[in-house]
């Protein structure tokens, strides 16, 4: 049926039809056909007519002025589009398309007036700030396979030129909860390392709890690699050997799953693309040059993603979806608790290494000869728990479930 009765019929015409219906001169089917509307719309008009027949009208005032943008706002939109254009032209930045939602947010921030992303898009097309996307032949299905929060934590790092004025690439380390798509952890670092990934796991576990599985790629930080042996030996060594990061995860009673291909990490790669699309623009506009300057912008975007952005796959805001799963009892997160023989978190969230005692009752670590406080047979294995701090390194020597010695060294930046 046709809509917008006020465009086809006058007030008097509609009043006459309603009056005829009230006097039972025409039936419902006939009046619906003459008005060209649905039953719900007709009874709404009838209710208004019964309340006040004399002042009844089907027209309504429309204020078109509020939908027109001033020339000043158009100028700001053009300025923001020009900034995006400069980023797209720069081959050193990972930005390759316009983000009209981000430009909309920048215009709102500068002017305080709400506009739509479509208004920005319309002007971009008219002014030539538009790149047509090539249609993809194959669309990969996107779905959520986990039924509870904490079942699967996807962890990864992305190396990019996050700040065009920094003249160097930084690494973004993130952990995302699979069921809700909630970003549990996100931080920018100048260079990724095993210790930084352990700190990321510590932050997630202490704040949210212990989940069931960690899902990572085959980076050497997460999976042991050995390339100079036979394929059989190499595969067996990779499956049995523990990296320092995986040792921490398994001490927290979580299992590690490795992605078989880059495409299998799509769920954690999409937030990278979303953050990359917005964070690079923010860093460029603020002329960010250091990681410390970029971190507040990152946390602002993460907060937006977690608490305001409706996820395209789940159709929900990640924070609300996570809270609902926990409220309904679909939660696999468990509080972290130290288990004997450990009495300090430093002995769990640390770099685990092993050394054997030599004939002089010493062990060798880097350039240091460390004396063991008790006599031990040659070849005895000592477990080292290494905790890097800002200016020093704390080393805790373990043997038979007890601490033998705690040593401190100067941190020369090797961790």
pLDDT tens digits for 159-193? 888 998 898 899 999 999 999 999 999 999 999 99
pLDDT at residue number 394:
95
Instruction: State the chain's mean pLDDT as an integer.
Output: 87
The residues spanned by each domain of the chain are: 5-51, 70-127, 152-327, 345-410
**CA quadruple 283, 286, 288, 292: dihedral, nearest 10:** -90
pLDDT at residue number 263:
63
Report d(CA 306, CA 177) in Å as an integer.
11
Distance of CA 130 to the CA centre of its chain: 26
This prediction has a pTM of 0.76
DSSP string, 65-86: GGGSPPHHHHHHHHHHHHHHHH
Write the DSSP symbol of residue 347: G
- Looking at the domain that runs over 152-327, which CATH code has it been given? 3.30.420.10
Report d(CA 342, CA 338) in Å as an integer.
6
pLDDT at residue number 291:
95
pLDDT tens digits for 94-110? 788 899 999 999 999 99
Helix/strand/coil for 351: strand
pLDDT band for position 37 (cuts 50, 70, 90):
confident
Q: Which residue has the tokens 């939660």?
A: 331
Question: Does pLDDT of 229 surpass 90?
Answer: no
Paired tokens of 96: 């390759």
pLDDT tens digits for 352-402? 999 999 999 999 998 899 999 999 999 999 999 999 998 899 999 999 999
Least confidently predicted of 138-142, 150-154, 173-177: 138-142
Mean of the pLDDT values across residues 48-74? 77
Mean of the pLDDT values across residues 336-362? 94
Burial class (CB in 10 A: 0-12, 13-18, 19+), 334: middle
Q: What's the half-sphere exposure (Cβ side, CA atoms, 13 Å) at 403?
A: 15
């Amino acid at each position: 049926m046709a809509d917008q009765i006020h465009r086809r019929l006058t007030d008097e015409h509609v009043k006459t039809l309603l009056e005829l219906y009230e006097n039972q001169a025409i039936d419902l089917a006939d009046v619906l056909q003459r008005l060209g509307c649905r039953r719900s719309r007709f009874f709404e008009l009838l209710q208004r007519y019964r309340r006040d027949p004399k002042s009844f009208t089907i027209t309504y005032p429309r204020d078109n002025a509020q939908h027109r943008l001033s020339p000043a706002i158009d100028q700001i939109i053009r300025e923001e589009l020009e900034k995006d254009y400069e980023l797209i032209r720069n081959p050193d930045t990972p930005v390759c398309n316009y983000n009209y939602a981000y430009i909309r947010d920048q215009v709102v921030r500068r002017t305080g007036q709400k506009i739509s992303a479509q208004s920005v898009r319309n002007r971009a097309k008219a002014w030539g700030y538009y790149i047509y996307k090539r249609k993809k032949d194959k669309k990969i299905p996107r779905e959520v396979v986990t039924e509870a929060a904490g079942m699967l934590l996807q962890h990864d790092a992305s190396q990019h030129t996050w700040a065009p004025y920094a003249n160097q690439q930084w690494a973004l380390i993130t952990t995302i909860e699979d069921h809700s798509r909630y970003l549990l952890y996100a931080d920018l670092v100048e260079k990724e390392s095993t210790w930084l990934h352990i700190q990321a796991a510590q932050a997630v576990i202490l704040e949210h709890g212990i989940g069931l599985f960690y899902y990572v790629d085959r980076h050497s930080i997460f999976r042991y690699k050995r390339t100079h042996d036979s394929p059989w030996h190499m595969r067996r060594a990779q499956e049995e050997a523990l990296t320092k990061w995986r040792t921490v995860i398994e001490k927290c009673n979580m299992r590690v799953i490795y992605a078989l291909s880059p495409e299998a990490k799509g769920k954690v790669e999409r937030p990278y693309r979303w953050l990359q699309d917005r964070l690079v623009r923010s860093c460029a506009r603020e002329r960010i040059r250091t990681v410390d300057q970029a971190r507040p912008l990152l946390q602002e975007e993460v907060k937006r993603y977690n608490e305001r952005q409706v996820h395209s796959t789940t159709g929900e805001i990640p924070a609300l979806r996570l809270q609902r799963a926990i409220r309904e009892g679909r939660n696999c997160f468990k509080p972290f608790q130290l288990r004997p023989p450990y009495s300090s978190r430093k002995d769990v969230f640390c770099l685990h290494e092993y050394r054997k005692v030599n004939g002089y009752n010493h062990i060798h670590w880097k350039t240091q000869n460390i004396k063991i406080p008790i006599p031990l047979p040659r070849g005895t294995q000592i477990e080292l728990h290494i905790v890097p701090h800002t200016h020093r390194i704390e080393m805790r020597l373990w043997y038979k479930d007890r601490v033998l010695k705690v040593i401190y060294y100067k941190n020369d930046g090797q961790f």
